């Protein structure tokens, strides 16, 4: 089989590495890819939104399966475009990808189908939002309605902060058109957990749990980012919580989308908050998480291509997901200054240390080739992942491996997985 992966980040590199494990696969392409995917696969110089060119390439190369990694092309309808040309593709159609494309839609869905989540209100203008916030309980959460690369969420501790946040999102367009509409949400406290799940339109099959670290700085300080690191599994996601979520969250979401005529086929990412009242949904995404994919996929025993095909064919009931009885931790090496101003173009040294290492992996995010050198090309440069017999060993191994890599302007959080120590 020939596989095409669409995207350019660490998530896509993780997908590329996983599909290469399949005995069915003979060749893998990545569009547009990065320096890491160029090593493991063949990069294709086509942008993720250039649907016509991607389709033309898939037809010319007789691609057997396209896996869409990024949210933007999904929300804009790339799966519909591929299906119109009878090209096998894995991911939700445009009508289903709205579950990530609009936070207002997803909140309305949860309310309508009694899926546990935080209370909320939606606003189209700053004046009415500010009036509402005058009488709100703090802290409170402001969310840009549309796609904002994981950065369109502000936690405000008082009215003054909230007022500035509204102006930032709706008037100043800090997150572009994503801020045309605003969701104001009740602040929830508890442990955050991420669960990725395969979906075939009717059935949903959750993977092992993970926990992301969204804030830029240690101690969960600083701005929201696309993710500074993650670990799997979460020790806080118990069997009892899993059973509750399957009944009251995961299947209800699938049933609700089906009832709305938006059958969901692909990866559903469910961000959970484990509150004192029980698990509640923080957010939905319509694809693999980044960097969650970098800790979940390396632990998955199944052939990813087979599972994707089962989702497309509506036969997910034939799949029994299996994961290794171990743990993994991913630490993101970023450009100092991310997610605001930072410099790029610095050579990366030490990548060869990961060659032939079974339990140590490096996933390329914002990297590119300059001649025979690999250099930094964005905010989240690399994801360093390590396995261990348990989370503590995996964490030690991951931080050990971060020392193998050097580049100017290198930055990372030093407390990824620190919550593990609190479980003793």
Report yes or no: 266 and 286 within 8 Å, Cβ to Cβ: yes
Lookup: tokens for 419: 């919550």
198 strand-pairing partners: 205, 267
DSSP strand pairing (153-156 vs 140-144): antiparallel
CATH topology of domain 2-94: Rossmann fold (3.40.50)
pLDDT value of residue 174? 85
Report yes or no: 272 and 280 within 8 Å, Cβ to Cβ: yes
pTM to 2 decimal places: 0.94
pLDDT value of residue 421? 64
pLDDT value of residue 422? 58
Edge-to-edge, what's the strand order for the sheet holding 182-186?
Answer: 120-123, 182-186, 140-144, 153-156
pLDDT value of residue 69? 97
All CATH 3.40.50.20 domain ranges in the chain, comma separated = 2-94
Report yes or no: 334 and 248 within 8 Å, Cβ to Cβ: no
All CATH 3.30.470.20 domain ranges in the chain, comma separated = 191-318
Q: 191-318 belongs to which homologous superfamily?
A: ATP-grasp fold, B domain (3.30.470.20)
pLDDT value of residue 150? 67
Lookup: tokens for 28: 């893998």
pLDDT value of residue 167? 93
DSSP assignment of 75-106 equals: HTTHHHHHHHTT--EES--HHHHHHHH-HHHH
Give 10-residue mean pLDDT values along the chain (424 residues): 98 98 98 98 98 98 98 97 98 98 96 97 94 94 86 89 93 88 95 97 98 94 92 96 97 98 98 97 96 98 98 97 98 96 97 94 97 96 98 97 98 91 56
- The architecture in CATH of the region 125-180 reads 2-Layer Sandwich (3.30)
Domain boundaries 327-423, CATH class: alpha beta
All CATH 3.30.1490.20 domain ranges in the chain, comma separated = 125-180
Nearest partner of 120 among 108, 134, 128, judged by Cα = 108
**For residues 8 and 37, what is the distance between their CA atoms, to the nearest angstrom?**
8
pLDDT value of residue 423? 53
């Amino acid at each position: 089989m020939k596989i095409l992966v669409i995207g350019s980040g660490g998530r896509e590199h993780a997908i590329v590495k996983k599909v290469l494990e399949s005995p069915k696969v003979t060749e893998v392409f990545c569009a547009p890819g990065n320096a890491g995917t160029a090593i493991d696969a063949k990069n294709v110089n086509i942008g993720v939104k250039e649907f016509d060119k991607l389709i033309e390439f898939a037809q010319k190369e007789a691609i057997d399966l396209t896996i869409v990694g990024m949210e933007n092309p999904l929300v804009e309808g790339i799966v519909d475009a591929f299906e119109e040309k009878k090209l096998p593709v894995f991911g939700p159609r445009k009508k289903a990808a709205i579950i990530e494309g609009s936070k207002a839609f997803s909140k309305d869905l949860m309310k309508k189908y009694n899926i546990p989540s935080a209370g909320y209100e939606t606003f189209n203008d700053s004046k009415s939002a500010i009036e509402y916030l005058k009488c709100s309980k703090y802290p409170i959460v402001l969310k840009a309605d549309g796609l904002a690369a994981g950065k369109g969420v502000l936690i405000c501790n008082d009215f003054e902060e909230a007022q500035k946040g509204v102006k930032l999102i709706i008037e100043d367009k800090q997150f572009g058109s994503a801020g045309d509409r605003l969701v104001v949400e009740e602040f929830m406290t508890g442990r955050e957990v991420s669960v990725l799940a395969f979906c075939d339109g009717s059935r949903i099959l959750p993977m092992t749990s993970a926990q992301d670290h969204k804030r830029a700085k240690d101690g969960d300080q600083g701005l929201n980012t696309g993710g500074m690191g993650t670990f799997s599994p979460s020790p806080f996601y118990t069997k009892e919580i899993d059973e509750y979520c399957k009944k009251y969250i995961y299947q209800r979401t699938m049933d609700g989308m089906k009832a709305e005529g938006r059958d969901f086929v692909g990866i559903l990412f469910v961000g959970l908050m484990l509150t004192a009242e029980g698990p509640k949904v923080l957010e939905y995404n319509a694809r693999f998480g980044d960097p969650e994919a970098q800790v979940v996929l390396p632990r998955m025993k199944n052939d990813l291509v087979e599972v994707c095909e089962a989702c497309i064919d509506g036969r997910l009931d034939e799949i029994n997901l299996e994961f290794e009885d171990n743990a993994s931790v991913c630490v993101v090496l970023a450009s100092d200054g991310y997610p605001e101003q930072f410099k790029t173009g610095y050579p990366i040294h030490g990548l060869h240390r990961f060659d032939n290492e079974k339990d140590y992996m490096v996933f390329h995010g914002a990297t590119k080739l300059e001649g025979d050198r690999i250099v930094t090309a964005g905010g989240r440069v690399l994801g360093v992942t390590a396995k261990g017999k348990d989370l503590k060993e995996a964490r030690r191994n991951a931080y050990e491996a971060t020392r193998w890599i050097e580049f100017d302007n290198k930055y990372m959080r030093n407390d990824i997985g620190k919550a593990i120590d609190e479980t003793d």
